[in-house]
Each structure stands twice: as C-alpha cells, then as structure tokens.
Structure 1
C-alpha cells in the first residue's frame, strides 16, 4: 500500500512539474501567438519577455546576505530528498512473498525470513565466506539480488553453479515459484598477510 502511495505521489509531482515546465516553454517560445491560442488570465508567462522571477522578487531581499544562499541550499536539499525518494522506489525490499499453499488461498511468507534462509545456505557452499541476499520485485514474482564474498581459493564458476542448482533451486521449490530470477555479484575476500617469527 505504501509503495503504491509513493508511486502515485511521485507521478503527480512529476506531472505537475511537467505541466509547469511546459507552460513556461509555451510562453518562452511565444507559441500561443504562433499557434493562435490563449492562456488563462492568471497564467504569469504570456510571452518571451516574461520572466519566472521579476525585478521586485529578485531585489526584495538584496540587503539580506543570508537570503539567496539559504534559498539555494533549501532547493538543493529538496532536490536530494526527491532523488532519494525516487531511488527508494526502485530498490524496495520485499517484505512478503506469496506462496502457493495449494488450497486456493496463497500463504504469506516473510521476505526477511526467506532472505536469511538463502543467505545461510549460500554461506554453507564451499569457498563462500559471506553471503547477502535481498529480495525485490513483486510478492508473486520476486527477484533475488545475491552478493557473495568468496575465499581466495574459491572457484567462482563452481560457486555460481552450486548457488543456482542448489540454494536458489531450493528457495524456488519451497515457495512454489515457477522461477526466481537472480542477480549474483562476487567479491574476493582479502586476507592480511601475517608475519611469522
């Protein structure tokens, strides 16, 4: 529910900014005169000579040294928050997975629990030092993002094969999913050299 609300709010915000930018562009290119149409009386940008911020607005706070740096800082923070909000929608962690219980009603499996089970089984593979799993996507069609930290002696091809054939296949079969698309990233563990006397 929260994810849907976030996406609707982002869509409305984007639509509003698009309409505002389009209106300013209409005035700047003088399209209402070229295409012979009129804009509403309350619209401030009627032609190429109109500006977004007039002389009074620019000079009103001229004596205050703090005003423009504060405005720019607030706008920069607002932009950063909006970008973070947008990126948070893409990387949404799956809180539940719908499992086919074969009685007509799907059961809900905690996404964090499934992530922990996949992590533990992946860490038990030969050559894997640590594993981190995150489930994203939809509750009925999750995607697994797996990061493996491999020991120096580990064979990445073998680890990937066993992860696909065993760990991810077990997770897919136990949840009754037809498929469990996965993105796997490897990183090699680095050990400090120890000096022996």
Structure 2
C-alpha cells in the first residue's frame, strides 16, 4: 500500500508539474509577444499579442446554453474534489500507531500503547552488537501493525546480521508477546559517523 501511494504521488505530482509548466510556457510566450514575432510557432496560435486573454468570450460561453454543460462541469469538479480529498487522506494513513490490539486468549483482547512496544523493540535491537541506535515506528492498523525500523550501525557492524537479529529477536519476540499472526517490518540502515579526533 505504501509503495502504491508513493507511485500515485509521483504520477500526480509529475502530471501536475507538466500541466503547470505547459500552461506557464504558453502564457509566457503570449505575454512576450512570441507569436507575433514569428518565431516558428504553429499556425493558429491562440495568443497573437501580449494583451490577449487566455480564453476569449466566445470560448468561455460556447456551451453555456446547452443543457448538458452545467451537469458535466459540476460532475467533473466533484470528481476532482473527491480525488483531492482521497489523496490528502492517504498521506495520513500510515501515521504512527497509538495502540496495538493484543490477543489475550480469552476473546476480549487488550490494548497496548504503541509507543511502549516501539521502545521495547528499539531497546532489544540496540542490544545487538554493532547497532549504535535504533528507531522504531509502528504504522498500519491496531490488528495489523507494521514496523518501520531505522538502524544506525557502527563501522564494524554486519548489516545482514543486524537485520537478521532484528527479525529473529526483536520483531519475533514482539509478535509472540502480542499474539499477532504476523508483524511485517521494513528496515533502513545507516552508518554512524564519528567525529575525527585530533591526535597530538
């Protein structure tokens, strides 16, 4: 889902950028009087002089008298508003999870603070050799949480070993303790940078 949202964001931003760039270029060309200077632009260029408007009165009112015009305009605008709202809400869908539903075995369940589980995961990950610091973040739903981990590794650390220990120790222990059937984790690794010390 996160990858799909990232792809949709890039496509929407790319298309919006292309439309704005094209519209800005056309307006700039008209404002600078490029068409009337004959700079090799196509025939029938809509803006012949800097004083021209983007849409002439005839173009703005061409279909205003038709019965289908206003319903189509309203429908298109409504769809655009709904798409914009969907896109806006999707940005906050993977925010930090406040609570995790723990299976207590009696059919009732209990709520565990997400921050507490994040702290336990981080502490266990930092206990591994070569892990300088671990930052955990829970996303998703209460019944289906996801772990987003960032590990800051020492120069001597083994990245593959650190990821393996995280999955087999910290994440596995958290999954067993909460009774979750699965606990997916996404791990990002970075190397710690120590300041060089002056030797005298």
Q: Give matches, 1:76-95, under 5 Å.
A: 86=89, 89-95=92-98
Q: Does the Cα contact within 8 Å between 1:98 and 1:140 map onto a contact in 2? A: yes
- Helix, strand or coil for the counterpart of 1:121? helix
Given the superposition, is the C-alpha separation of residues 172 and 39 from structure 1 closer, same or farther in structure 2, using an over 3 Å criterion? same
In structure 1, C-alpha distance between the alignment counterparts of 2:167 and 2:65, rounded to whole Å: 60
Q: Normalized against structure 1, the TM-score is what?
A: 0.59
How many residue pairs were aligned? 131
1:152-185: CA deviations, max 9, x gaps?
Answer: 1101001011111111100111000010011100
Give me the whole-angstrom Cα distance separating, in 1, the residues matched to 2:162 and 2:61.
59
Distance in 2, Cα, partners of 1:122 & 1:28: 66
Q: Report if aligned partners of 1:128, 1:148 keep a CA contact under 8 Å in 2.
A: yes
Aligned twin of 2:185: 182
The correspondence of residues 130-169 of structure 1 with structure 2, limited to 5 A, is 130-169=133-172
- Give the superposition deviation at 1:39: 3.8
Q: Provide the C-alpha distance between the structure 1 equivalents of 2:165 and 2:68, rounded to a whole number of angstroms.
A: 67
The corresponding residue for 2:18 is: none
**Distance across 2 between alignment mates of 1:156 and 1:28:** 65
Q: Which runs of 4+ in 1 moved over 6 A?
A: none
CA distance in 2, matches of 1:143, 1:152: 28
Please give the alpha-carbon distance, in whole angstroms, between the structure 2 residues aligned to 1:28 and 1:126.
Answer: 72
Residue 126 of structure 1 is matched in structure 2 by 129
Per the alignment, residue 116 of structure 1 pairs with 119
Matched, 1:106 2:137: no
Give the distance between the partners of 1:124 and 1:178, measured in 2 at CA: 25
Q: Matched residues in 2 for 1:119 and 1:29: separation?
A: 64
Q: 1:116 to 1:28 in 2, by over 3 A?
A: farther
Partner of 1:30: 63
The Cα offsets for residues 114-165 of structure 1, whole Å up to 9 and x where unpaired, read as 0000010011111000000000000000000000000011010010111111
Kept after mapping to 1: 8 A contact 2:64/2:70: no
Gaps of 5+ in 2: 1-59, 75-84
Scaled by the length of structure 2, the TM-score of the pair is 0.58
